[in-house]
Amino acid sequence: MNEQAEVVCNNNGPLRITGSFVIKDGKGDSYDLAGRTTIALCRCGNSANKPFCDGSHNRTGFQSVVTATVLPPPKPKP
């Protein structure tokens, strides 16, 4: 599957990733996603299954409304 990954920032909820992607830990080891092509990543910090969402945002009242914006250009590297 070579479908480009799409990340959706859900208001008051997780980041939903769909498509072809790899999730790695800080050591560079890949998570076994068991063939999933859609996952949700925690934004609230309360998931018991980090980095994946377990719905804790609903229980804790997490609030974060997001709107797409334009980022400034990256600063040139010296």
**Cβ atoms of 64 and 43 closer than 8 Å:** yes
**Spatial separation of the C-alpha atoms in residues 16 and 47, rounded to whole Å:** 15
- Which domains does the chain possess? 1-65 (3.40.5.90)
pLDDT tens string 46-74: 999 999 999 999 999 999 999 999 999 99
Which residues have C-beta within 8 Å of that of residue 17, sequence separation ≥ 6? 5, 6, 7, 8, 38, 39, 40, 41
Decide: 51 and 41 in contact? Cβ < 8 Å.
Answer: yes
Mean pLDDT of 13-17: 98
- Report pTM: 0.87
